[in-house]
Amino acid sequence: QVQLVQSGAEVKKPGASVKISCKASGYSFTSYYIHWVRQAPGQGLEWMGIINTSGGSASFAQNFQGRVTVTRDTSTSTVWMELSSLRSEDTAVYYCSRDYIPLGGRYSDSWGQGTLVTVSS
Amino acid sequence: DIQMTQSPSSLSASVGDRVTITCRASQSISTYLNWYQQKPGKAPKFLIYAASSLQSGVPSNFSGSGSGTDFTLTISSLQPEDFATYYCQQSYNTPYTFGQGTKLEIK
């Protein structure tokens, strides 16, 4: 079955970077894009960006441009999301999800378990 | 960016009640509207795409409707497992923005 398994929780100091992995299994990795979504404590969902796992191109929300890098390794079916210049407001659970495009739509059909990133001095 | 506004932000209801959650887009998104359910400490679960197409396995007491800028999620008869937070999301163009969420609580 489709599975997305993310790396474990991280604690970082302000100004540092964090790199989170998302390992996919149970499907053809390069046939589906991967989204990144985050959720600050007690807050709603915030869409961060998306990567084309085949070609490697990515698109990000304006809030994150210049601070986020998303890469993938097709040999291991893994996507990495790196967020730099961390500040306290980046404390959140970060999710990867698989992009599914049926006729007339587009949605995240499978999600990773989430990775908690805590930014604290 | 397209802004998504849900109402209400929270809602108290009883098992068996019919509830409706509204989602409004800041511009027309045709029917590129998704609904997700999230329970505490868990990843979101996909429910509905294209405004009204139910994901396989989602109970039939869930339904969605709307097009353009105004959308609704209706739960026709609340079950205990339906108490959760619900989010709409537009997939018309990037960034694929979410509504702020509607927390459905037991009365």
Residue B53 β-bridge partners: B49
pLDDT, one tens digit per residue, over B49-84 is 999 999 999 999 999 999 999 999 999 999 999 999
Inter-chain CB proximity A108 and B98 less than 8 Å:
no
Q: What confidence score (pLDDT) does residue A103 get?
A: 87
Q: Which of B36, B54, B53 is nearest to B45 (CA)?
A: B36
Q: What confidence score (pLDDT) does residue A113 get?
A: 98
Q: Over range B31-51, report the average pLDDT.
A: 97
Distance, in angstroms, between B16 CA and closest chain A CA? 27
Inter-chain CB proximity A105 and B55 less than 8 Å:
no
Q: What confidence score (pLDDT) does residue B103 get?
A: 98
CB-CB neighbors (< 8 A) of A102 in chain B: 49-50, 53
In percent, the amount of chain B with pLDDT more than 70 equals 100
Residue B20 β-bridge partners: B74
Q: What confidence score (pLDDT) does residue B18 get?
A: 97
Tokens for B67?
């097009």
List phi, psi (to 5°) of B31.
-120, 25
List phi, psi (to 5°) of B82.
-85, -10
| Element of type H or E holding A82 | strand A78-83
| Option in A62, A105, A113 nearest B53 (CB) | A105
Q: Alpha carbon A40 to chain centroid distance?
A: 14
Q: What confidence score (pLDDT) does residue A104 get?
A: 85
Q: How far apart are alpha carbons A12 and A87 in whole angstroms? A: 9
pLDDT tens per residue across all 121 residues of chain A: 999 999 999 999 999 999 999 999 999 999 999 999 999 999 999 999 999 999 999 999 999 989 999 999 999 999 999 999 999 999 999 999 999 999 889 999 999 999 999 999 9
